Structure 1
Amino acid sequence: MMKKRSLALVAIVSLIYTLPVFADDNMGNMNMSKMDMAMPAAQAAAKPASKMAHGIGVVKGIDAKQGMVTLDHEAIKELNWPPMNMDFKVASPKLLKGLKVGQKVAFELKSEGGMNALVTAIKPAK
């Protein structure tokens, strides 16, 4: 009797684990066999195009060792960014010379997509 129960239990567990193998794999009757899902190698390897943008902001912090500047900037239309407070890497530590916390500045960014941007120029705003 115990042997029959054990065999039944093993059969049920085996069935549970093998059922997905027999499941319908056509994605809910969606036929995707005619879709070309290949991506050209050049497109797959391509980086997002860099984009130059301009902004106005106030210096909130300077980290010369890390080559970073914290700016509380106005909206940046070229990048569709709202006003915000952000840390930016600078292209050269020389760009940080003469900057002071609280100073209003005009700056240029090289955007690599998303929120990744490099300050390429910065000077006191008029």
Structure 2
Amino acid sequence: MKKIVTTTLVVATLAFGTTFALASSHGNSHGSTHGNSHGSSHGTSHGATQKADKKASVQAEILGIAADGKSVDVDHAPIREFGWPAMQMSLELQNANVAKDIAVGDKVMLEIKQKSATEYVITKITKQ
């Protein structure tokens, strides 16, 4: 009986350890949140292996502007350069002046720069 209990514990421990290791490696392969969320960290599921300093332009609608002027919520078209589908997300602004004359509801063209594998920043916003 003792042998059966010991064997069961060993098997259970190995199974749990393997599951935990798989879950950990799965989490690491996909990295951080889908958008810092989004906060400017879009998440590695769409761009972790991409080279930093990529740039893209995309049409979007402004959904919100952070009170501190550091980010905006947008609904953007697909961004092929980053491998992103169309989505709503929050993106960091390079500085508060980037959104100086922008209001919620504006249709705009965003210029986005990839700062690192998971960090993106809006460098320019032009009203359409």
TM-score by length of 2: 0.58
Equivalent in the alignment of 2:28: none
What does residue range 7-46 of structure 1 map to in structure 2 within 5 Å? none
Letter of the 1:107 partner, please give it.
Answer: L
Deviation at 1:98, TM superposition (A): 1.0
Partner residue in 2 for 1:106: 109
Alignment length (residue pairs): 89
- Tell me the distance in 1 between the aligned counterparts of 2:64 and 2:77: 16
| Identity level (%) | 30
- Asked whether the 8 Å contact 1:70–1:85 carries over to 2, the reply is yes
- Report the AA paired with residue 52 of structure 1: K
SS in 2 for 1:94: helix
Deviates more, 1:63-72 or 1:96-105: 63-72
Out of 81, 87, 106, the position equivalent to 1:84 is 87
Q: Aligned with 1:100: secondary structure? A: coil
Residue type at the aligned position of 1:63: A
Aligned AA (2:55): M
Secondary structure, in 3 states, of the residue corresponding to 1:55?
strand
Q: Kindly name which structure, 1 or 2, has the bigger radius of gyration based on alpha carbons.
A: 1
Give the whole-Å Cα distance in 2 for the aligned partners of 1:123 and 1:86.
Answer: 18
Unaligned stretches of 5+ residues in structure 1: 1-8, 18-47
1:64–1:96: 8 Å Cα contact kept in structure 2? no
SS of residue paired to 2:105: coil
RMSD: 2.9
1:49 to 40, 49, 52: 52
Structure 1 segments, 4+ long, off by >2 Å, are none
- Structure number with higher helix proportion: 2
Alpha-carbon distance in 2 for matches of 1:79, 1:67: 22
Q: Which amino acid aligns with 2:117?
A: G
